[in-house]
Homo-oligomer: A and B are copies of this chain.
């Protein structure tokens, strides 16, 4: 696939508008034969623009039809057709799904090489891939797909309509909701990192808790989510986790949060609802990040963050403060010299004034 994805058949702008519940501005009869990103698009493609920041691409794109929002200033007389809809990203996602509904040929049925333990309960229409191991007592809901080479520990419960990719490791007694997606290489329920140190030697503290992944969570590739010491590590409903993220024992994440790649959350920290942790951010243990807060990339959060706060930096501070610091820091080396010069000038003034005082005092 170079540049654009070829559609199964050509389609008119007015048909697209119907699929995405949008309004056509321009020629409703224009047809498209491909789908593409706005920069890569060529004539005959449909594309979309959601972000005001890239508005100049509306003019420069070669696409024939562009899905965008009514808020955008649409350029006139450039021979392109626009479809206006409230959420162009979502509209585009729907369009893609409409055209490529069964793009991937997921495994069907239970592969003869899958090893299914005692007392396992499989829902209707599940698909279990080759060399999958399902230990005793596991329950799996309807329509759930488990790819090849994945391991499911004993007494774990997985809901319905889940999609678990190859080579995932899910340990014992984990609870996973419905419509959860887990990408390859991810480990759920590894032991929390807890030791009692006596005379310099570290003794394990048993980690007998579990992990609860609620409905509609998506977890990226090579993520690690540790089980709680007691109790539960919880990933709230609708939260999306990117690749290579670390979630320590007893962390609780609220609903619909976003944890970007390579971020790490230390033990027992509580992340609210609708929080965004940007890439490579780190959060210390035993604190809380309030609902709707945003933690900037590479930030290091060392104290609890109130709801609705945007923090940045290591250590993380409110973004307005960090931005002022970042803006002023390059002048620091010159400022050092300036201050040294000032000291000399003030000293000279003091000496002058003192000698004049003496003169007059004579």
A349 adjacent to chain B (CB < 8 Å): yes
Of the residues B185, B202, B250, B273, contact of A240 by C-beta under 8 Å: B202
A274 CA to B238 CA in the complex, in Å? 40
Q: Looking at A92, A171, A210, A298, which has the most chain B CB atoms within 10 Å of its CB?
A: A298
| Contacting pair B282 A298 (CB below 8 A) | yes
A229-B37, A240-B195, A314-B298 as given contacts; A206 in contact with B346, CB under 8 Å: no
| Contacting pair B333 A336 (CB below 8 A) | no
Residues of A52-108 contacting chain B, CB below 8 A? 87, 89-90, 92-93, 96-97, 100, 103-105
| Contacting pair A243 B104 (CB below 8 A) | no
A329 CA to B198 CA in the complex, in Å? 38
Chain-B contact segment, one of A11-19, A24-32, A138-146, A148-156: A148-156
A interface, CB within 8 angstroms of B: 1-5, 35-37, 40, 50, 87, 89-90, 92-93, 96-97, 100, 103-105, 113, 115, 129-131, 133, 136, 147-149, 151, 153-154, 165-167, 169, 171-173, 181, 183-187, 190-191, 193, 195-196, 198, 200-206, 208-210, 218, 220-224, 226, 229-232, 238, 240, 242-244, 246, 248, 250, 256, 258, 260-262, 264, 266, 273-274, 279-280, 282, 284, 297-298, 300, 314-315, 317, 321, 324-333, 335-336, 338-339, 342-343, 345-346, 349-350, 352-353
Known pairs A165-B169, A243-B246; list 20 more (Cβ under 8 Å).
A5-B209, A5-B230, A37-B231, A37-B250, A90-B198, A90-B203, A105-B154, A148-B151, A167-B167, A183-B190, A184-B190, A185-B185, A187-B243, A193-B260, A202-B238, A224-B261, A242-B246, A280-B300, A325-B332, A352-B353
